[in-house]
A = this chain, B = another copy of it.
Amino acid sequence: MSNGSGTASGKIRVAVWNEYMDEQKRDTVTCHYPQGLHAVIADFLNREEDISAKASLIGDPEQGLAESVLQNTDVLVWWGHVHHGDVQDNLAQRVIEHVQGGMGIIFLHSAHKSKPFTRLLGTDGYLSWREAEEKCRVWTVAPAHPIAAGIPESFVIEHEEMYSEPFGVPDPKTTVFISWFKGGNVFRSGLTFERGFGKIFYFQPGHETYPNYHNEYVRKVIVNAVRWAKPQLRIGVRDCPRVDPLEW
């Protein structure tokens, strides 16, 4: 067992995982994210003195999920969509084992259907959706939670893809945010979970054709979540040991 801060600098080491394939290189996305969503996310994280973020892409060796990458990651941020099915099962399992061992993970937006998300939570990732240039208002349901630090009672996102309840996830540890959509829907948009030694946060905003990772509150939530998800302890894969009696 070791504690989770591994760098000489003591910074929280973040890997921002993304697909960054053809779809994300279309004009509707590059107008907001010229070098990809991951680049913008890593950039605003790196503006924090206590965070050191870099990108990890599906096109990298071992799909950006090499053992050496994960061992040196305190918190993994996951953005995926059209290539969920292409992530190799053994690499998804590796991510899951690192989370169980203490690595934090933040699932953004469409990551609700990714292999690590559905397999850590035992969910099918069900929700309803539409893309309609739709106004969204994010409500802070748990104002005293560290992830809500500095976030107002509610904030507006001018356009976001609508995600609607019922959301097929198990009971969260804490419901931090619930979103209102102009078209009549609601969605539990900020949820924490725990699995093994690892902390998990799901956050809904971040459709690729809207500039929402430039929104100051969306950024603040993700920064807060990185700090919250930092491992308290970090362990490796473990077997069930046979133990002797302590009393007799």
Contacts and interface: CB of A to CB of B under 8 A. Distances in A.
B184 A246 contact: yes
Contacts of A244: 130, 183
Contact of A165 (B121, B140, B146): B140
A120 B182 CA distance: 34
Nearest to A143: B166
B195 A186 contact: no
A175 interface: yes
A185 B121 contact: no
A39 B19 CA distance: 50
B232 A145 contact: yes
Mostly helix, strand, loop or mixed at chain A's interface? loop
This chain's copy number in the assembly:
4
A166 to B, nearest CB: 6
B137 A247 contact: yes
Interface residues of A, number: 74
A97 B132 CA distance: 31
Contact of A119 (B122, B134, B144, B243): B122
Nearest to A97: B124
Given A97-B124, A184-B180, A129 B247 contact: no
Nearest to A232: B144
Contact of A168 (B127, B132, B149, B196): B196
Contacts of A96: 122
Contact of A240 (B125, B165, B184): B125
Contacts of A100: 122-124, 168
A178 B187 CA distance: 9
A164 to B, nearest CB: 7
Interface string A137-177: 10111111110010001100000001011111011011100
Closest 4 CB pairs of A and B: A183-B245, A184-B246, A184-B247, A120-B122
Interface of A: 89, 96-97, 100, 102, 113, 119-130, 132, 134-135, 137, 139-146, 149, 153-154, 162, 164-168, 170-171, 173-175, 178-186, 188, 193-198, 231-233, 237-238, 240-248
